[in-house]
Amino acid sequence: MTATIIDGKACAAKLRRQVAAHVARLNTDHGITPGLAVVLVGEDPVSQVYVRSKGKMTVEVGMHSIRHQLDADTSKADLLALIDQMNADSSVHGILVQLPLPKHLDEHLVINAIDPAKDVDGFHISNVGLLGTGQKSMVPCTPLGCLMLLRDHLGVLDGLGAVVIGRSNIVGKPMAQLLLNDNCTVTIAHSQTRDLPGVVRRADVVVAAVGRPGMVRSDWIKPGATVIDVGIKGGTRLTGDVDFEGAVAVAGAITPVPGGVGPMTIACLLANTVIACCRANGLPEPGGLTT
Ligand code: GUN
């Protein structure tokens, strides 16, 4: 058996086309152009690649792209002042502060200074709480992209056993919430988990979000399981958490790295920005974009 390769690149391109169509309609019908502001503090090369790519795709779907490049030694007061200014700017519908931040800046404090309605990353404490209680929120882009790929491939997820490997605030934890909201039986595994291979072997759905190349071995995968590999950036090269070559012979379906989850993340960021723009203007949210 050979697994179906889940084409995240194609799925993301389709989502971006839908976003572009909504942006065009907002523009012609209401004279509104959604705006996304991205803040990068310092010059981390990996973050620079992400931020450049986000800006390029924002423009491609017809939205305003605003970029703030700040020095690595920017003070907390200056960063918070910029966030206040963007919170108050009605032409900015989405705000993203690229993580990680330099050590002297408290990430929680900075993220929680963003207006939750403009928090297109879904990292603000109030969005986290809304997601955790099954209410309308901004949903973090990477787990949202993973969920869309899973729904696209499997249809309904009701009753499936899902294991999320990794418990980060950016991916693992919100991923588990989304799967739970979709009626999966969810296990969150992490570095202290006992018998990780055994835990993974029971799962119909595996989401690997650790950042350790090839750590998920193919003989851990339940035959026919659906495997989503979030992977990581190591230097500028993308590497998956799953032994892809081995897993492709066992899994029912698997995402490649690159070309799986990565492109979905940015497409979901653009979709979140359109949703935030509609909410800010009291307009109906585009149906079927991310749900
Ligand atoms: N750094 C790595 N991934 C992300 C993300 O999704 N959002 C932000 N803001 N920073 C990141």
Query: 7, 18, 54, 243: which one is catalytic?
Result: 54
At residue 234, the pLDDT reads 56
At residue 75, the pLDDT reads 98
The enclosing H or E element of 227 equals: strand 226-229
- Which of the residue ranges 36-50, 51-65, 200-214, 229-243 would you say has the lowest mean pLDDT? 229-243
At residue 237, the pLDDT reads 66
Report how far residue 219's alpha carbon sits from residue 196's, in angstroms, rounded to the nearest whole number.
12
CATH topology of domain 30-115: Rossmann fold (3.40.50)
pLDDT-above-70 percentage for the chain? 98
Report how far residue 32's alpha carbon sits from residue 23's, in angstroms, rounded to the nearest whole number.
8
- Do 30-115 and 141-262 come out as alike in CATH topology? yes
| pTM passes above 0.95 | yes
- Which of the residue ranges 95-99, 184-188, 218-222, 235-239 would you say has the lowest mean pLDDT? 235-239
Answer yes or no: 136 catalytic: no
The SS3 of residue 49 is helix
Mean pLDDT, the chain, rounded, equals 96
Calculate how far, in angstroms, residue 142's C-alpha sits from the geometric centre of ligand 1.
9
Average pLDDT over residues 163-167: 98
Report how far residue 95's alpha carbon sits from residue 87's, in angstroms, rounded to the nearest whole number.
8
Q: How confident is the model at residue 66 (pLDDT cuts 50, 70, 90)?
A: very high
**Ligand 1 site, residue 119, Cβ cutoff 6 A:** no
- Paired strand residues for 207: 164, 228
Give yes or no for residue 114 having a pLDDT over 70: yes
Q: Which long-range contacts (CB under 8 A, 24 or more apart) does 89-93 make?
A: 90/280, 91/33, 91/35, 91/64, 92/35, 92/36, 92/37, 92/66, 92/118, 93/34, 93/35, 93/36, 93/118, 93/273, 93/276, 93/277, 93/280
Answer yes or no: 98 catalytic: yes
Query: 7, 18, 98, 182: which one is catalytic?
Result: 98
| Residue 239: C-alpha distances to residues 208, 234, 243 (Å) | 12, 7, 10
The enclosing H or E element of 274 equals: helix 261-280
At residue 239, the pLDDT reads 85
At residue 98, the pLDDT reads 97
Angle between helices 141-154 and 172-181 (to 10 degrees): 40
Q: Which residue has the tokens 């002042």?
A: 81
Top-confidence residue, 234 or 85: 85
pLDDT-above-90 percentage for the chain? 94
Q: How confident is the model at residue 19 (pLDDT cuts 50, 70, 90)?
A: very high
Average pLDDT over residues 8-34: 98
The residues spanned by each domain of the chain are 30-115, 141-262
Provide the total of helices (H) and of strands (E) in the chain, helices listed first.
10, 11
pLDDT in tens, 213-272: 999 999 999 999 999 999 875 555 678 999 999 999 999 999 999 999 999 999 999 999
For domain 141-262, which architecture applies? 3-Layer(aba) Sandwich (3.40)
- Which of the residue ranges 18-27, 107-116, 227-236, 270-279 would you say has the lowest mean pLDDT? 227-236
**Ligand 1 site, residue 272, Cβ cutoff 6 A:** no
Query: 7, 118, 119, 121: which one is catalytic?
Result: 121
- Paired strand residues for 165: 189, 208
